[in-house]
Amino acid sequence: DHPQTATSLNNLAGFYHRMNDYARVKPCYLRALKIREKELGPDHPQTAVSLNNLAALYSNMGDYAKAEPLYQRALKICEKALGPDHPQTAKNLNNLKWLFFDLNKKQSALDIARKAQKAQLKTLNNILSFTSEQQRLSYQETLNPYSLFASMGSAPDIALAILRYKGIVLDSLLEDRLVAETSEDPEHRAMIEQIRSRKQRLTQLLLEIPKDVSEQALKKRAAEREQLSREAEQLEGDLARHVAGLGRARRALSLTVEQVQKAIPEHAVMLEFLHYDHYLGKNTWEGRYGAVIIPPTGEPRWVILGKAQDIDKMIGLYQRQVRNKTDEKFFAALLGSLYRQVWAPVEPSLPEGTRDIIISPDGALNFISFATLLTPDDQFLGQRYGIRYVASGRDLLRETAPSPVDQMTMFTNPVFAGKGIIASGGTSTVRVALRSLEMRDLQTIRLEPLPGTAKERAFLQARARKWKWPIAVFEKHKATEAQLYATRSPRILHLATHGFFLSEDKKEGGERREGFGVMGGEEQRRVILQNPMHRSGFALAGAQDTLDAWKRGDMPDTGNDGIVTAEEVGGLKLGETQLVVLSACDTGVGESRSGEGVLGLRRGFIQAGAQHLMMTLWPVTDEITPEIMVDFYHAFQKSNNAPQALVDVQRTWLVKLRQERGLYAAVNIAGPFILSSQGHQ
């Protein structure tokens, strides 16, 4: 009858519960409850745990009449003993809301869900105030703030939840950094540099191949990696405590829908897409996509798009086909099918007179260029609407400051190897630009020269002089990582070089394994990169020398090795940079995390503070691209509105290229560009 015996019984019952062996679950839970009631008391929080678990068993068995009073009693105990905002109270509330859903008590389910969310927000606020980035991401994955509201179609509730929770980890990191950088306390600014240096060294240890592969040396390296990881996480937590303070409200968590609506321009709507688990009742779930339509005035609207499995399959086909020459009729049918899946359900709910759409994608929708979808009247969606992108509707409220340096800074055509042999492309050089590299075998990677980017550089230099923009060009040997780190918030940062994203690998049985194969001694080793921010980046001068050195086990200076990961990009000082252009292939790819956007270069540059980021969703390999880029800059120079400049130029080129070269060429050449923004423009 000891309470610890009750804990063992409870855990054993939980094990049987996961096996759906209800015959063994019930007696264990009942005995644990009896012990706790006798030894701890009927109003003890541990007694509430037993009541909650027993209620969950009855609920799963469909015996709701027995489940409800147990849930209610457990909730009453927790509210009295622990308080209305305690995590255990929130857990009880969440269980009770699903019971009410199954009982078709819709209003009760909504009321309980709102109370649960209030408790969760308080806990989340505290978590964001003392933890590291990885801990925040891990905790965020345990939350499910959307499903009930979405499953019940409560548009105001789901709109508020999305605006508060979506992208909250990135938002909190930005908040920490901005406060620290403007702090008068030098200790805060020093923490940022310490975090950056440790992450830089950690990345090097993850990527390089050690010369000494003895057991002792490998253990020493593993110990250093673990120590650096701990130190970086500790520093991130310390920084959060210094600048936020335990209990201080994060701005995002007190946001209202009305605040976002005031930032939406006239004749525009905010469209928040969501990948979520739709509850079908009786403990059955189905992955779906939905969209919240937030107009400048009036109530939000919620639209369910369909099964996530079907939509993700179609997006995967879209991504494959747009990268490979395909039949025009099949391609047109594909673009039309995708329109019907992800846009046709939304359009009838748009307010009359809508001209512009501000899209916050989620899940695989991050990898669609919505402007390229084909409408029923055989037009591009980009001809019907002006489309811009944000990570979250909260980004419309972000305050931006003009750059103190009214300058365009370019990094182009780096010399990747020490010899610096640049291949001659003649007069008809096809622009290679940033090529997507799947770094599976380090031995085979060769970073080819990019003479085609010289054409783009010459165009932009000439236009910059005409527009009287000061321009700094770092080309060939001067396009170094050290020079990039020394760059301080130019108005425009333009990068034209090779990019990479390491795709995931899976072992037999489906276990995820990230990384790429390398040779160490006589056996093939595998560098495992669990963080997707380490698996994407771009190359600058000396990058091939670094790759070759890693194969030999040498360790170049991490501050100037030419390999710039997305993690390192997040440490750049671009807080007042108006526009970053990744004139590159696949720079918009990465690992999509539901509710947290894409972990890759786009996250890195947002974290670095850039207001607008232009990137691509598939390879750009056409000689026309420099002309598109110059047209974009020309439109931007006239309007000072980067999102609108891309809308106008992309629309023009899509139509023009379709007339001249056909549908596939138009989408392949002019379609991959998307621009993600913060602030009003």
**Residue 454, Cβ neighbours under 10 Å: how many?**
19
Q: Find residue 356's DSSP bridge partners.
A: 268, 386
Tokens found for residue 621: 């390999």
Q: Which residues of the chain have pLDDT under 70?
A: 178-179, 181-183, 200, 203-213, 242-250, 403, 419-445, 501-532, 534-535, 551, 553, 555, 558, 584-599, 621-622, 680-681
CB half-sphere exposure, 20, CA atoms < 13 A: 3
Rounded Cα distance between 533 and 203, Å, is 10
Cα–Cα separations (whole angstroms), residue 64 to 19, 184, 426, 452: 21, 58, 77, 68
Rounded Cα distance between 549 and 445, Å, is 13
Tokens found for residue 401: 């400051």
Strand-pair category, 536-539 with 563-565: antiparallel
Q: What is the pTM of this model?
A: 0.83
| Long-range CB contact pairs, 287-292, < 8 A, 24+ | 288/150, 289/342, 289/362, 289/363, 289/365, 290/150, 290/158, 291/345, 291/346, 292/155, 292/158, 292/159, 292/162
Cα Dmax for the chain: 89
Closest CA to 120 of 112, 132, 131: 112
- φ/ψ of 463, rounded to 5, equals -70, -40
The DSSP letter of residue 509 is T
Cα–Cα separations (whole angstroms), residue 608 to 163, 171, 400, 601: 22, 12, 13, 10
Strand-pair category, 405-414 with 490-496: parallel
Rounded Cα distance between 54 and 130, Å, is 34
Rounded Cα distance between 248 and 62, Å, is 42
- φ/ψ of 174, rounded to 5, equals -65, -40
Coil, strand or helix at 324: coil
Strand-pair category, 499-501 with 536-539: antiparallel
Coil, strand or helix at 70: helix
Rounded Cα distance between 301 and 158, Å, is 9
Tokens found for residue 1: 């009858």
Rounded Cα distance between 504 and 516, Å, is 9
Contact by Cβ (8 Å): 48, 90: no
Closest CA to 438 of 495, 342, 517: 517
| H/E stretch holding 593 | strand 591-593
Coil, strand or helix at 680: coil
| H/E stretch holding 360 | strand 356-360
Q: Which amino acid makes up residue 559?
A: G
Coil, strand or helix at 586: coil
- φ/ψ of 571, rounded to 5, equals -90, 0
Contact by Cβ (8 Å): 241, 130: yes
Contact by Cβ (8 Å): 205, 218: no
Rounded Cα distance between 23 and 12, Å, is 13
- Looking at residue 207, its pLDDT comes to 56
Rounded Cα distance between 456 and 620, Å, is 13
Cα–Cα separations (whole angstroms), residue 78 to 73, 82, 87, 306: 9, 5, 10, 38
Rounded Cα distance between 673 and 586, Å, is 10
**Residue 376, Cβ neighbours under 10 Å: how many?**
9
Encode 152-190: b = buried (16+ Cβ within 10 Å), e = exposed: bebbebbbbbbbbbbbbbbbbbbbbbeebeeeeeeebee
Contact by Cβ (8 Å): 145, 286: no
Q: What pLDDT, in 10s, does the model give residues 229-286?
A: 888 888 877 777 766 654 444 677 888 999 999 999 999 999 999 999 999 988 889 9
| H/E stretch holding 163 | helix 155-165
Rounded Cα distance between 143 and 276, Å, is 12
Helix axes 215-243, 168-181, angle to 10 degrees: 80
Helix axes 22-39, 45-60, angle to 10 degrees: 160
The DSSP letter of residue 374 is B
The DSSP letter of residue 429 is P
**Extended strands (E) in 384-470:** 386-389, 405-414
Contact by Cβ (8 Å): 235, 195: yes
**Extended strands (E) in 425-531:** 471-476, 490-496, 499-501, 504-506, 512-520, 523-528
